[in-house]
Amino acid sequence: MKRVLSIIVLSVLILSIFATIGCSRTTRIGDILDNASQYEGKDLTIRGTVGENAWFALVGKGAYQLGDGSGNIWVITSQPPPQKGLSISSKGEVQTAFTIGEQSYGTVLLETQRD
């Protein structure tokens, strides 16, 4: 009986580890904004609620603001932005919006995938 219980516990533990490995880890938006240089150029996933958005049909680009309670970040996308109020995940690369001289202004996520 003790051995059967040990096998069950071990099996549950192994399944939990595999489930955790398979899950995409999300990064808090506030962490990105607080340490932008640490995240610059890295691919990551964020999750939040869609705020303001815009679509520029002539250039085939759009942008939407995503917030998770820790901060808000603009997401640049090549597909029409999601509707305001939706809860979504977005994966992409963190970039500085623009730089003047040595000073960087704004941090954005260049979207490569949306769920």
Query: Could you tell me the two tokens for 85?
Result: 């109020």
The pLDDT tens digits of the residues spanning 47-102 come to 999 999 999 989 899 999 999 999 999 999 999 999 999 999 999 999 987 766 76
The string of pLDDT tens digits covering residues 21-56 is 445 699 999 999 999 889 999 999 999 999 999 999
pLDDT of residue 97: 78
DSSP category for residue 26: B
Q: Which CATH class is domain 26-114?
A: mainly beta
d(CA 114, CA 76): 11
Domain ranges of the chain: 26-114
How many other CB atoms are there within 10 angstroms of residue 53's CB atom? Answer: 19
Residue 107 pLDDT:
93
Q: What pTM was estimated for this model as a whole?
A: 0.75
| DSSP one-letter code for 81 | P
Which secondary-structure segment (H or E) carries 114?
strand 103-114
